[in-house]
Chains A and B, each alone.
Chain A
Amino acid sequence: MTEVVLFIIFAAVALAGAIVMVTAKNPVYSAMGLLTTMFTMALFYILLDAHFVAVVQILVYAGAVMTLFLFVIMMIGVDKKEDTAETIPFQRGLTVVIGLGLAGVIIMAGRQAWITGNTAFSAPDLNGTIETVSDALFGTWTVAFLATVFLLTIAAVGTVALAMFGTPQLRETESEEGQ
């Protein structure tokens, strides 16, 4: 029963965080809302016995990604409050319809697919420790893991390239053309 209570509380917090993120005018509030959701996600992972992934979730998302977001928000200005009046015709109504429809069909699809006949989480216990996860990661999925190494390297190089060569040069040529 505790599990149900905890799930409801965490789910409510997660939804609240998500809604704050989407609706807040100030991007910092948005970031905080997302952060909240991330934390609750980590809690869900723990409930699901995925301890290692939960820790990574906190480290990567809360620690790295959200910090990056905040840096960027600071760089391009916090106080630029967004005008929330919609300019694109029908966009908002369309979004409501699409959002509700999407949630509906995904739930529907989940209901179809997840009738396994098992009682809830009756599969043998899966201990999501570093050991079990790394066994899979460095065993069956080594090649995929190495691919992510390349992906990250390329992303890092690409970011540096964008920061170093991308814009300033364009600016120079632009100003030259202007003269």
Chain B
Amino acid sequence: MIDYLWLLIALPLLGALTLIVFGKRIGEPASGWFASALVAIPFLMAVILAVPFLGGAETEHVFVFSWIPVIGANASLLWDPLSALMTLIVTGVGGLIHIYSIGYMHGDERYPRFFSYMNLFIGSMLTLVLADNFALMFVGWELVGLSSYLLISFWFSKPSAAAAGKKAFIVNRIGDWGFLVGLMMIFAAFGTLDFDIVFARAEGVLSVGMATAITLMLFIGATGKSAQLPLYVWLPDAMEGPTPVSALIHAATMVTAGVYMIARTAALFELAPVSLAVVATVGALTALFAATLAVGQRDIKKVLAYSTISQLGYMIMAVGLTALTAGIFHLMTHAFFKALLFLAAGSVIHAMSSEQDMWKMGGLRKYMPTTFWTMAIAWLAISGVFPLSGFWSKDEILGAAFAKGGWFIGLWAIGVITALITAFYMTRLIILTFFGEKRWDPDTHPHESPSTMTIPLIVLAFFAAVIGLWNTPVRLGLEHFLEPTFENVHQVHPLGNVTIVALALISLAVIAVGILLAYQRYGRGELPAEDGGYWAAALDGYGVDDLYGKVIVAPGKAAATWLAMIFDVRVVDGIVNGMAVVTKAFGSSLRVLQTGWVRSYGAGIVAGSLGVILWLLLQGGAF
């Protein structure tokens, strides 16, 4: 069975190819089911293959074919607990999103094409997480970037969607650049890109400076994919894609790539304390920064987008604290509740005829009970209410920050404040959407979504509620599960029982405050007018896009214009034209010979033969 591990990647890619070629013929619901099956089968395979790890099975390497063996880059796959867990998340949550999309994308003109891209996304992500060397991981990394571009700009006839796709692609390229440079430095240092060799020799080969340089480069890659400061800007715009795409990108696949990559290369990060501090700080700041932005959004999907960035900040902070299990744990719980939030939001948008402004919703609780109840679970989970999944994973991260001591206590404080804001804006979202007055157009008739959409919601809600129990301080199931992967890394663990309970009580109190504040503000009839000042700035994303536009894009454009108009015309064209002028002059001088008169050519031929005869005679000694 393990020999067929490559099928995990091959099946979704096969589905993508089939749907691109025969999509039109396969037709509307069939292509959706087909694509879902090609994600469900890998999921089932992954479950079967992952079960032995519970009993402490060995890590497996599956060699598929030789690619560039000399640099340690083969198409060969790594099956260890971490990649197994990632595969399960990607195919499990991804598969549910596929099924949801069958209903959500109903009636779209390019329905089969959508599923083709979705399958491509799953295949790319699986390549990324299953690779056993940096080169193949980079292939998956780039493919993920490509499929995100295709999906975000899926409705490319909308200019904003096309622009958002481009933005995601370009911003990600900056991160990819960092990742690629990191890979080159790894290759320069180790002479191979194979994970096992690199991680095993890292301690002996790398100096602290080299390790810092490599890991910072890798971290630039992670900030691109995982939407951290300062490269997070693509993610809010990515909401232009269809909602299932947002769910797929932001919950299960793309954004987790950076976290996964740092966790995978923890052996390198461990050698560079400075990098780790940078990672943790950037993560914490991103969490806080994005949370403050999420408060001010009116668009339901934008709230979730900034919330994603914020939660990713937690994960990055965790891996930066070398609390790898906590980071991966939060990644997993987040995958469930964020996918659920997005899909529920999609269900709401679907019901409201594509209205996304929360100020034009309200009172939807009665019209869509399933969506409401599942989303409520997600709300409590992301806020971190005991005993839902978000509580366990978030508190494990905060506990790790606290346990590390020193100035990391500051990061813990930021995390707690972020938790407060998270509880506030999620409560705001729920109240504005499902409670209070009806504020929508009388023409819209909200209705519950079809079962292909609600069943995934219910499944996700179940997991969002209970998955956290896998790794409680009482019983560290996930930590034990991931032991083989992280056995050589010195992880930070939360402190003893008394402290952890105290910390948990603090966060619960903070969360309660957040929820109550939001209820005070939004839950009592009249809604506050939110314009001007902070609200306008938040809606504008604090003007970061404008700032980037002025500081980076405008000088870039000016440089490009200079290159195109001055440098290209004068220097590049000058060289090219100069070559042409020289050639032309040479040609013109020879052109005199090309008279067009047959007789001059004849004279040339005869004169030439005369010369040859003379030469032969001279050679023969005639003279």
User: Within 8 Å by CB, do A and B touch in the complex?
Assistant: yes
Interface residues of B in 566-617 (CB under 8 A from A): 595, 597, 599-600, 603, 606-607, 610, 613-614, 616-617
Of all chain A residues, which has the CB nearest B595? A88
Q: A108-B617, A108-B622, A109-B617 are in contact. Are A91 and B600 (CB under 8 A)?
A: yes
Quote the shortest CB–CB distance from A158 to chain B (angstroms): 20
Q: B55 within 8 Å of A by Cβ? A: no
Interface of B is mostly: helix
Q: Which residues of A contact B613 (CB under 8 A)?
A: 102, 105-106, 109
Interface segment, A23-31, A93-101, A125-133, A141-149?
A93-101
Q: A122 within 8 Å of B by Cβ? A: no
Q: A98-B606, A112-B620 are in contact. Are A91 and B614 (CB under 8 A)?
A: no
Q: Which residues of B contact A91 (CB under 8 A)?
A: 599-600, 603
Quote the shortest CB–CB distance from B619 to chain A (angstroms): 11
Instruction: Please report the C-alpha to C-alpha distance between residue A94 and residue B608 in the assembled complex, in whole angstroms.
Output: 12
Q: Which residues of A contact B620 (CB under 8 A)?
A: 112
A101 near B597 with CB under 8 A, answer no
Quote the shortest CB–CB distance from B621 to chain A (angstroms): 9
**Which residue among B597, B610, B622 has the maximum number of chain A CB atoms within 10 Å of its CB?**
B610
Q: Which residues of B contact A94 (CB under 8 A)?
A: 603, 607
Of all chain A residues, which has the CB nearest B621? A112
A101 near B600 with CB under 8 A, answer no
A95 near B603 with CB under 8 A, answer yes
B610 near A101 with CB under 8 A, answer yes
Q: Which residues of A contact B606 (CB under 8 A)?
A: 98, 102
Instruction: Please report the C-alpha to C-alpha distance between residue A108 and residue B620 in the assembled complex, in whole angstroms.
Output: 11
Q: Which residues of B contact A98 (CB under 8 A)?
A: 603, 606-607, 610
Q: Which residues of B contact A95 (CB under 8 A)?
A: 603
Q: Which residues of A contact B617 (CB under 8 A)?
A: 105, 108-109, 112
Of all chain B residues, which has the CB nearest A105? B613
Quote the shortest CB–CB distance from B598 to chain A (angstroms): 10
Quote the shortest CB–CB distance from B604 to chain A (angstroms): 9
Quote the shortest CB–CB distance from A88 to chain B (angstroms): 6
A109 near B607 with CB under 8 A, answer no
B599 near A88 with CB under 8 A, answer yes
Quote the shortest CB–CB distance from B437 to chain A (angstroms): 79
Of all chain B residues, which has the CB nearest A95? B603
Instruction: Please report the C-alpha to C-alpha distance between residue A91 and residue B606 in the assembled complex, in whole angstroms.
Output: 12
Q: Which residues of B contact A105 (CB under 8 A)?
A: 610, 613-614, 617
Q: Which residues of B contact A109 (CB under 8 A)?
A: 613, 616-617, 622
Encoded as 1 (CB less than 8 Å from any B CB) or 0, chain A from 103 to 145 comes to: 0011011001000000000000000000000000000000000
B622 near A112 with CB under 8 A, answer yes
A88 near B622 with CB under 8 A, answer no
Of all chain A residues, which has the CB nearest B603? A94
Of all chain B residues, which has the CB nearest A111? B622
A88 near B600 with CB under 8 A, answer yes
Instruction: Please report the C-alpha to C-alpha distance between residue A98 and residue B604 in the assembled complex, in whole angstroms.
Output: 10
A102 near B610 with CB under 8 A, answer yes
Quote the shortest CB–CB distance from A29 to chain B (angstroms): 21
Instruction: Please report the C-alpha to C-alpha distance between residue A23 and residue B133 in the assembled complex, in whole angstroms.
Output: 87
Residues in B lying within 8 Å of A, measured CB to CB? 595, 597, 599-600, 603, 606-607, 610, 613-614, 616-617, 620, 622
Residues in A lying within 8 Å of B, measured CB to CB? 88, 91, 94-95, 98, 101-102, 105-106, 108-109, 112
Known contacts A95-B603, A109-B613, A109-B617; 16 further A-B pairs (Cβ under 8 A): A88-B597, A91-B599, A91-B600, A91-B603, A94-B603, A94-B607, A98-B610, A101-B610, A102-B606, A105-B610, A105-B617, A106-B613, A108-B617, A109-B616, A112-B617, A112-B622
Q: List 20 A-B contacts (CB under 8 A).
A: A88-B595, A88-B597, A88-B599, A88-B600, A91-B600, A98-B603, A98-B606, A98-B607, A98-B610, A101-B610, A102-B606, A102-B613, A105-B610, A105-B614, A108-B622, A109-B613, A109-B616, A109-B617, A112-B617, A112-B622
